[in-house]
Amino acid sequence: MTISLTRRRTAPRPPAIQPTAGAGSRQWVGYAFLCPALLLFVLFVAGPFVAAIVLSLYRWDMLTPAQFAGVGNFTAMFGDPLLYRSLANTFVFALASLVTHLVGGLLLALGVNRLKNKVLSYFVRTSLFFPFVISWAAVALLWKYVLDPSFGLVTYYLGRLGLDTPNWFNDPSWALPSIIGIDFWHTIGFTFVIMLAGLQTVPNTLLEAARLDGANAWQTLWHVTIPMMSPTIFFAAVITFLGAFQIFDPIQIITPQGGPDNSTMSVVMYLYQKGFQSFQVGYASAVSLLVFAVMMVVTLLQFWGSRRWVHQ
């Protein structure tokens, strides 16, 4: 018996890439492309953030010289009941917006995805997304007219049905729910598009396998569709909360000064009043840092919790 010994062949090494002449001198091209983005970041993000930190340590009314206050502005926030009220209103608004947008957006996406007629599907998608492209100023004025207690369209038709209409924006118990409903009408189209895009990424093979195994529609939705859409739902949850926590435009236009009994006073509205109406710039800067800290903590908690239910 003969044994043949063969030498193990090794793959040839690729030739080393030698730096070409003038490569170092062309690096400035990359920095030149980065400069506009870096400049915008410094001017509109990093610069204002650092300025807010510095201003929060001073008392300044923009008319007289600033006086160093140390942590005085931060300690003053603990004894400000209106700040607590504005934070509570903002959390209520943000949580209501988060739940209604995630549930409503998912249900709308499931319904539109079942449409077989392409023309009808395109029309429904456009109709749902169209309110989102309208400016908040126009939306706020539109709904302020529609819900007017004297001559609004809703008041008229409910009156024809013999129903009494509440004073939507002047009743403390109805002002914030009205703003939540208007925000839902204006922004649900964006969440709907995100949900629809995520729904269309679910492989049909998994859905068909679930049906072959005897799963009904609810079981397929809960055990297949939603887990496969979990990254999309997580993304929608993060951006919905961040956007809702910064609500300002409809409150400023529809219910100036925070509505009746401060029932619609949001924390950004409160920050605006302190900074640009009362000219307490240092205190407003401290409140802005508090808003940033709250949003950062909630976002980190969302990312921490996503490890338990988001399936990549």
Give which of 58, 67, 43, 47 is closest to 286, Cα–Cα: 58
> What are the b/e assignments for 223-236, b being 16+ CB within 10 Å?
ebbbebbbebbbeb
Give which of 137, 135, 1, 80 is closest to 284, Cα–Cα: 80
Neighbours of 204 (CB within 10 A): 7
What dihedral do alpha carbons 110, 116, 122, 127 form, nearest 10°?
Answer: -50
Query: What homologous superfamily does CATH list for 68-309?
Result: MetI-like (1.10.3720.10)
- Domains of the chain, residue spans: 68-309
Along the 312 residues of the chain, how does pLDDT read in single tens digits? Answer: 444 444 455 556 656 555 555 555 577 888 888 899 999 999 999 999 999 999 999 999 888 898 999 999 999 999 999 999 999 999 999 999 999 999 999 999 999 998 888 899 999 999 999 999 999 999 999 999 999 888 888 888 888 888 888 888 988 999 999 999 999 999 999 999 999 999 999 998 998 998 888 889 899 999 999 999 999 999 999 999 999 999 999 999 998 888 888 999 999 999 999 999 999 999 999 999 999 999 999 999 999 999 998 887
Confidence (pTM): 0.86
Return the beta strands (E) in the chain as ranges. 58-59, 67-68
